[in-house]
């Protein structure tokens, strides 16, 4: 198929995927011949069939990770489609379905057969087989399993390379931030072009390997807290922005402003910033000036542009709460900027879950999320906090979990659809022996459709001297 046609298919694909979700949702509620189902099916076929009028054309829908691909192109979706996309991803995963291939126009009868097989497969012991057997009569429709996709798309070597790339990008970003802050302190010229390049790499990784880069933010035992924190906030913000449907270029902008959000800390005296004990009232007076200093410092950089303008706004507002408490004190009416609200969530989460000089034992990731959900409507925007909690998941990377198999491990990679079924690195087997290298996907089921492993208890890794870096950085490669 010609590239131009590919592009037009990509454009309409988000609507087709959304409509497929609508069809399936309706079919789960109503009988297949119900008018709501029939109308939805008609709309779906009228969208997809024109693309398949030529016998050489194919519509291949694949699920890779948490994203749909049509004819090998990743499909981004507008915010209003988020629920339907998430629903369809979860329905595909329930059936261990990796995708579907449509090679010719579908009629209403074909769709009735497909829907019947699709609905009934959910209750089957082997949902994928039930589904593929159920649609054998539809010649122009086929379903594929995720295993096949895995074989086709990613081998172990590639995974290892990607991990290396993720680490490289992460440390490049920290190195840049360190240089940036030091240069600011000494009044040297700042190179924003470099920052853009770094954030672009992070955006690419978030778009394709979100969990891996997010995993890097879970490792908190670094000496240089401020630099790692800035990078973590940037990564969390970009990942969050991606969930909110921001464009690629808007994500870069968001990543940059998040990277610079704590710029004002260069003016906080080191003895306060690195104070080994808890900050006293006077220290806090100084610390609370950093948003003001941040905005001021950014605005003093050579010439204003859109990035510096937004960075100054976010630097000033990132400690302002939803209910206008927080700092600095501002006069009403005042509403924080959209990016400030995003960065504030990322900042709050990373700060809570990080050890600082004066806070040796940080909050456990799942407790941090709970605390943030409690702060909805006062500290945080109530809608955004929901989205954020969904992204980080019930069991964020770095959480320690006990499974119903009496195995014990550390959450290695989150599952954005089934948030309580992440990938876990097993550290202790069911007999209580330490082991190495067993990775368990908690979304996996046995032949009877029962989950192989289910997390039942969680506890705080910080209380047990657990070196997350050892497991997340070195173990994974």
**What number of chain residues touch another protein (CB under 8 A)?**
100
Nearer to another protein among residue 110 and residue 317 (C-beta): 317
Contact with another protein (CB under 8 A): which of 74, 296, 356, 445?
296
Task: Determine if 179 is a binding residue for another protein (CB under 8 A).
Answer: yes
Question: How far, CA to CA in Å, does 461 sit from each of 78, 361, 439?
Answer: 37, 10, 18
Task: Determine if 384 is a binding residue for another protein (CB under 8 A).
Answer: yes
Instruction: Please report how close the Cβ of residue 176 comes to another protein at its closest, in angstroms.
Output: 6
Contact with another protein (CB under 8 A): which of 119, 159, 292, 375?
292
Task: Determine if 279 is a binding residue for another protein (CB under 8 A).
Answer: no
Contact with another protein (CB under 8 A): which of 48, 61, 63, 400?
400
Instruction: Please report how close the Cβ of residue 117 comes to another protein at its closest, in angstroms.
Output: 26
Dihedral (Cα; 228, 209, 20, 445), 10-degree rounding: -100
Task: Determine if 163 is a binding residue for another protein (CB under 8 A).
Answer: no
CA distance 313 to 315: 6
Contact with another protein (CB under 8 A): which of 49, 469, 475, 476?
469
Contacts of 138 (CB under 8 A, 6+ apart): 106, 110, 113, 114
- Of 97, 98, 119, 115, which is closest to residue 106 (Cα–Cα)? 115
Q: Is 174 left (phi over 0), alpha (psi -120 to 50) or beta?
A: alpha
310 and 252 Cβ atoms separated by less than 8 Å: no
Nearer to another protein among residue 450 and residue 464 (C-beta): 464
Q: What's the longest Cα–Cα distance across the chain?
A: 76
Dihedral (Cα; 101, 422, 165, 310), 10-degree rounding: 100
CA angle 65, 66, 69 (to 5 degrees): 80
Task: Determine if 284 is a binding residue for another protein (CB under 8 A).
Answer: no
Task: Determine if 375 is a binding residue for another protein (CB under 8 A).
Answer: no
Instruction: Please report how close the Cβ of residue 457 comes to another protein at its closest, in angstroms.
Output: 4
Task: Determine if 428 is a binding residue for another protein (CB under 8 A).
Answer: yes
Within 10 Å of residue 239's Cβ, how many Cβ atoms? Answer: 27
CA distance 51 to 393: 37
Task: Determine if 358 is a binding residue for another protein (CB under 8 A).
Answer: no
Beta strand pairing status for 408-413 and 423-428? antiparallel
Instruction: Please report how close the Cβ of residue 467 comes to another protein at its closest, in angstroms.
Output: 4
Task: Determine if 35 is a binding residue for another protein (CB under 8 A).
Answer: no
Contact with another protein (CB under 8 A): which of 22, 389, 397, 423?
389
Residue 110: its H or E element: helix 108-121
Contact with another protein (CB under 8 A): which of 113, 119, 162, 373?
373
Contact with another protein (CB under 8 A): which of 49, 226, 390, 405?
390
- Of 346, 339, 337, 340, which is closest to residue 385 (Cα–Cα)? 346
Q: Which of residues 123-152 bind another protein (CB under 8 A)?
A: none
Instruction: Please report how close the Cβ of residue 167 comes to another protein at its closest, in angstroms.
Output: 7
Q: Which of residues 219-248 bind another protein (CB under 8 A)?
A: 219, 221-223, 244-245, 248
Which 3 state secondary structure label does DSSP give 62? strand
Span of 19-27, 52-60, 63-71, 424-432 interacting with another protein by CB under 8 A: 424-432
Nearer to another protein among residue 137 and residue 470 (C-beta): 470
Q: Which of residues 299-318 bind another protein (CB under 8 A)?
A: 299-300, 303-306, 309-310, 312-313, 316-317
């Amino acid at each position: 198929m010609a590239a131009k046609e590919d592009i037009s298919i990509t454009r309409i694909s988000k609507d087709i995927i959304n409509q497929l979700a609508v069809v399936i949702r309706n079919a789960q509620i109503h009988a297949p011949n119900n008018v709501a189902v029939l109308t939805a099916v008609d709309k779906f076929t009228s969208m997809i069939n024109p693309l398949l009028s030529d016998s050489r054309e194919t519509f291949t829908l694949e699920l890779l990770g948490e994203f749909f691909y049509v004819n090998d192109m990743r499909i981004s979706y507008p915010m209003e489609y988020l629920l339907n996309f998430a629903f369809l991803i979860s329905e595909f995963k329930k059936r261990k379905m990796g995708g579907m291939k449509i090679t010719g126009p579908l009629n209403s009868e074909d769709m009735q057969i497909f829907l019947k097989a699709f609905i009934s497969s959910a209750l089957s012991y082997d949902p994928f087989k039930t589904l593929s057997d159920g649609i054998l009569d539809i010649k122009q429709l086929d379903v594929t399993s995720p295993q096949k996709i895995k074989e086709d798309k990613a081998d172990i070597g590639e995974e290892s390379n990607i991990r290396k790339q993720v680490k490289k990008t992460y440390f490049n970003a920290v190195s840049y931030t360190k240089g940036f802050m030091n240069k600011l302190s000494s009044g040297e010229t700042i190179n924003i072009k470099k920052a853009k390049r770094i954030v672009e790499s992070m955006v690419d990784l978030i778009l394709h390997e979100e969990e891996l880069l997010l995993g890097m933010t879970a490792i908190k035992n670094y000496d240089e807290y401020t630099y790692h924190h800035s990078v973590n906030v940037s990564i969390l913000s970009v990942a969050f922005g991606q969930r909110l449907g921001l464009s690629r270029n808007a994500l870069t902008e968001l990543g940059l402003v998040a990277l610079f959000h704590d710029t004002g800390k260069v003016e906080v005296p080191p003895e306060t910033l690195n104070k080994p004990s808890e900050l006293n009232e006077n220290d806090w007076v100084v610390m609370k000036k950093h948003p003001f200093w941040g905005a001021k410092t950014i605005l003093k950089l050579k010439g204003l542009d859109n990035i510096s303008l937004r960075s100054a706004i976010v630097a000033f507002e990132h400690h302002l709460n939803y209910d206008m408490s927080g700092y600095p004190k501002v006069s009403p009416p005042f509403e924080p900027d959209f990016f400030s609200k995003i960065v504030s969530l990322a900042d709050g989460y990373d700060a809570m879950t990080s050890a600082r000089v004066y806070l040796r034992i940080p909050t456990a990731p799942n407790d941090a999320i709970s605390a943030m959900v409690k702060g909805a409507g006062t500290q945080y925007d109530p809608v955004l906090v929901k989205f954020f909690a969904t992204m980080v998941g019930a069991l964020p990377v770095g959480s320690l979990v006990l499974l119903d198999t009496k195995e014990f491990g550390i959450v290695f990679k989150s599952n954005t659809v089934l948030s309580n079924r992440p990938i876990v690195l097993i550290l202790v087997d069911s007999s209580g022996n330490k082991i190495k290298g067993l990775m368990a996907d908690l979304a996996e089921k046995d032949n009877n459709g029962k989950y192989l492993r289910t997390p039942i208890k969680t506890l705080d890794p910080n209380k047990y001297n657990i070196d997350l870096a050892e497991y997340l950085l070195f173990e994974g490669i």
